[in-house]
Amino acid sequence: MKTLLISYSLSGNNEAVANRIAKQLPADHLQLTESSKRGFFRISIDLIFNRTPKVQPTAIPMEDYDFVVLIGPVWMGKIAFPLRSCLSQLKKNLKPYAFVSVCGGSNGKHPTLEVELLKRTGIEPTAVIEMHIANLLPQNVEPSYKAINAYQLTDEDFDQLSLNVIEQLKTVLDKM
């Protein structure tokens, strides 16, 4: 089964996990980028106006693959807006897919992710894997927005998160 891994990362956390997963699955890896820097203000404006920003590459050869793994952050309970163009292309090609995210997690699991994915692609994801930075904080640190943003993931964290995702994805792929 030929797998395509598509990643977007603002902080670098999702990209570090994506690189490890692509090597170990194995999967072809396509990294999405934006031409201008993104900050909280642009994220908020995109949320308010439901915008899909332009990313590179613009065309993704999904028809060449049997399974697609999307990796990116969750912003304010929504899939990172730069991934929306991939979701639109996935809807046109209807491939089995999974969504993976390294996100803050101070409020726990995002209950609307699967609904959003279904709405944007027309098919349910085979897996939604959320890995929360809040779970990596030292036990004596309260999982607040400030503590989560200040926490720097280590190579050990990235390795552990990647192994967790690979185990779950291999279970999904074995059933296909």
In which element (H, E) is residue 97 found? strand 97-103
CA torsion angle 78 101 73 68 (round to 10): -90
Three-state DSSP state, 3: strand
Q: Residues 64-98: pLDDT tens digits?
A: 899 999 999 888 888 888 888 788 877 888 789 99
At residue 106, does pLDDT exceed 70? no
How far apart, in whole angstroms, are the C-alpha atoms of residue 76 and residue 95? 27
* Nearest alpha carbon to residue 6 among 78, 65, 50, 53: 65
In which element (H, E) is residue 145 found? helix 145-150
**Whole-prediction pTM value?**
0.86
With a pLDDT cut of 90, the percent of the chain lying above it is 41
- Pairing between strand 78-79 and 74-75? antiparallel
Mean pLDDT computed over 6-18: 91
Q: Residues 141-168: pLDDT tens digits?
A: 988 888 888 888 999 999 999 999 999 9
Here the tokens at position 28 are 């072809």
Cα 70 from chain centre: 5
Residue 11: predicted pLDDT: 85
- Burial of 28 by CB count in 10 Å (0-12 exposed, 13-18 middle, 19+ buried)? middle
